[in-house]
Amino acid sequence: MTSTGTPRTARLLPGGPVAEAVLADVAARTAALRRAGVVPSLATILVGDDSASVGYIRMKQQRATELGFASPHTQLSGTASQADLVRAISAYNDDPGVHAILVQHPTPAQIDYPAAISAIDPDKDVDGLHPENLGRLATGQPGPVPCTPAGIEALLAFYEVPVAGRDVVVLGRGTTLGRPLSLLLSQKRSTADAAVTLVHSGVPGWDRHTRRADIVVAAVGVPGIVRPEHLRPGAVAIGGGVRYAGRRLLPDLDETCAEVAGAITPRVGGVGPTTVAMLFRNAVELAERLTARSAQV
């Protein structure tokens, strides 16, 4: 509540405008590659026919086409083995016309997803999740950065949320989001350079950290886990973690957080659109790097 008794309403930080700006840059770069005779190519692999995953792949292919990418696709049956998946990955690894490879997550139970990611050529790893790329991130070397963390850094920069020197608390240490985000925002760069604290299920009373943070990023996947009493009034709250109940998206940030936060991502259209945009930014960067390298040999 404000001093006049009306509920505070945080400034919203939608991801759509951030994604538009990123994708405009991607489109200009794919056009430049095409003018140089290179068709950037993002290959996708889907194991099974989970309806949400089929929808995501369709959306990514449509976006790819709009942005000027080729988008070859391999569809494997829901009973495909790890060896079948690795064979499909290897075929794209060996294809010089393919610059970026995406294995759609989640995969069926018989598939070891981390092992599949490790089978991707690190220089074609569009999700930035290959151990070599996570190592590049940890050591500050150039390479594809996991898309959701990269999207969150871009979102904070777009809305000119000060990050350098501020206290950022990331809740969740998962490999796709919390841990790489903690590495990214602690890098030496004006849009990062933060004092990052990473908390998780091994930290009882993690709210003693979030309650003093300038920026809290929820990266858990437990709906409503972050509540207003976990935030310092005026803090920036970023909702990365989500769970789906059917088609309904259930975010980590309880909606009442908007009454305490100074700025917050919306329930729908927050971090998600920036993740997709960063996928294509990674794809065009991989195409540029591989093209530059093949020109040198």
Ligand X SMILES: NC(=O)c1ccc[n+]([C@@H]2O[C@H](COP(=O)([O-])OP(=O)(O)OC[C@H]3O[C@@H](n4cnc5c(N)ncnc54)[C@H](OP(=O)(O)O)[C@@H]3O)[C@@H](O)[C@H]2O)c1
The residue with its CB nearest to ligand X is 174
Closest CA to 81 of 123, 122, 115, 125: 115
Is 232 marked within a binding site?
no
As beta bridge partners, residue 46 has 75
Is 128 marked within a binding site?
no
Q: Does 266 bind ligand X (CB under 6 A)?
A: no
Q: Does 16 bind ligand X (CB under 6 A)?
A: no
Is 173 marked within a binding site?
yes
CB of 197 to ligand X, least distance (A): 13
Q: 160 to 219, contacts with ligand X by CB under 6 A?
A: 171-178, 200-202, 206, 219
Q: Does 241 bind ligand X (CB under 6 A)?
A: yes
Which residues contact residue 165 at a Cβ distance below 8 angstroms, ignoring those fewer than 6 apart? Answer: 193, 194, 195
Is 242 marked within a binding site?
yes
Q: Does 148 bind ligand X (CB under 6 A)?
A: yes
Per the annotation, the verdict on 296 as an active-site residue is no
Amino acid at 290: L
Q: Does 220 bind ligand X (CB under 6 A)?
A: yes
Between 165 and 202, CB nearer to ligand X: 202
Exposed e or buried b for every residue in 23-59, given b needs 16+ CB within 10 A?
beebbebbeebeeeebebbbbbbbbbeeeebeebbee
Q: How many residues does the chain have?
A: 297
Per the annotation, the verdict on 127 as an active-site residue is yes
Q: Which of 125, 127, 252, 254 is catalytic?
A: 127
If one counts every other C-beta atom within 10 angstroms of the C-beta of residue 133, the result is: 23
CB of 35 to ligand X, least distance (A): 32
Instruction: Name the residues annotated as catalytic.
Output: 60, 104, 127
Binding site for ligand X (CB under 6 A): 148, 171-178, 200-202, 206, 219-222, 225, 240-243, 271-272, 275
